[in-house]
């Protein structure tokens, strides 16, 4: 009898619970990961740009418009990272709320614009996560307490990560804290943890390095 009751409860509970899940679209995989950690099983998270794609120069597919239409919340980085997104949201006719996760951070200037890669500093990532938790709670007040609890646990993990990064960097002699990378995506990490990054590509992958940039990099690698 008890087993039968349990089966009935499961039958009743699971479709209902699935229907109650908040549909969230995140523009790219790292934001999707933040949303999953805060939202847990109370959200359905879809990311538009996957881990192996380039969010700077993404071309949305028709299926992306459908995902936006089905969403209650769209989480974006902002700071000019997803230039293709406003048109996608508009053309989808979606009534989803668009939330800029970087809203609470102080952006670094790079040339005439802002450096969009703000999540690379863990203290900034914590601001993103707090912004995302607030957005989820506003969209689904019934689950606000769950989002707050899960956000708190995830923020503690990020705190640990931040400590680990600082400890790892401290073990490297200051004059050797240099990294060569392909794309200048680590400005916030560099500033936060005192590491110098040297990159032949600019802040956006939309531009190609010049011969002079390449020559400078070769010189730096040799040095
Ligand atoms: Zn980038």
Q: What does the pLDDT look like over 55-109, one tens digit per residue? A: 988 999 999 999 999 999 999 999 999 999 999 999 999 999 999 999 989 999 8
Residue 59 placed within a domain: yes
CATH of the domain at 162: 3.40.50.1980
Average pLDDT of the chain? 88
In the chain, what are the helix, strand and coil shares in percent, each to the nearest 5? 55, 15, 30
Question: What is the per-residue DSSP string for 197-216?
Answer: EE-SB-SSTTSPPPHHHHHH
Query: In the numeric block, which tokens belong to residue 212?
Result: 């002079």
Tally of domains in the chain? 1
- pLDDT tens across 159-200, in order? 999 999 999 999 999 999 988 887 778 999 999 999 998 776
Q: What is the 29 CA–ligand 1 centroid distance (Å)?
A: 13
Q: In this structure, is residue 11 part of a structural domain?
A: no
Q: How far, in Å, is the centroid of ligand 1 from the Cα of 184?
A: 7
pLDDT of residue 173: 96
Using the mean position of ligand 1's atoms as its centre, give its distance from the Cα of residue 48 in Å: 15
> What is the extent of the structural domain holding 101?
21-171
By C-alpha distance, which of 103, 55, 51, 110 is closest to 78?
A: 103
Residue-wise pLDDT for 95-150, tens only, equals: 999 999 999 899 998 888 899 999 999 999 999 999 999 999 999 999 999 999 99
Kindly state whether residue 216 falls inside one of the protein's structural domains. Answer: no
Q: Residue 60 and residue 62: Cα distance in Å, rounded?
A: 7
Does 199 fall in a domain? no
Q: Which of 9-13, 36-40, 78-82, 193-197 has the lowest mean pLDDT?
A: 9-13
pLDDT of residue 20: 80
CA of 114 to the centre of ligand 1 (A): 12
CA of 12 to the centre of ligand 1 (A): 45
List Cα–Cα distances, 95 to 69, 71, 119, in angstroms. Answer: 7, 8, 27
Report yes or no on 81 lying in a domain.
yes
Distance in Å, CA 56 to ligand 1 centroid: 6
In-domain check, residue 6: no
């Amino acid at each position: 009898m008890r087993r039968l009751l349990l089966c009935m409860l499961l039958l009743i509970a699971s479709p209902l619970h699935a229907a109650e899940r908040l549909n969230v679209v995140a523009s790219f995989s790292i934001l999707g990961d933040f949303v999953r950690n805060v939202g847990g099983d109370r959200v359905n998270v879809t990311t538009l740009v996957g881990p192996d794609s380039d969010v700077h120069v993404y071309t949305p597919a028709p299926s992306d418009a459908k995902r936006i239409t089905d969403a209650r919340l769209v989480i974006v980085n902002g700071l000019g990272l997803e230039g293709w997104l406003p048109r996608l949201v508009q053309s989808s006719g979606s009534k989803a709320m668009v939330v800029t996760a970087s809203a609470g951070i102080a952006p670094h200037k790079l040339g005439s614009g802002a450096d969009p890669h703000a999540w690379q500093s863990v203290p900034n990532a914590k601001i993103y996560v707090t912004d995302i938790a607030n957005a989820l709670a506003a969209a689904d007040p019934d689950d606000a307490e769950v989002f707050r609890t899960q956000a708190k646990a995830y923020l503690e993990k990020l705190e640990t990560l931040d400590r680990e990064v600082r400890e790892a960097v401290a073990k490297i002699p200051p004059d050797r804290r240099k990294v060569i990378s392909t794309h200048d995506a680590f400005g916030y990490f560099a500033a936060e943890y005192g590491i110098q990054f040297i990159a032949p590509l600019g802040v956006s992958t939309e531009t190609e390095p010049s011969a002079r940039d390449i020559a400078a990099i070769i010189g730096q690698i040799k040095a």
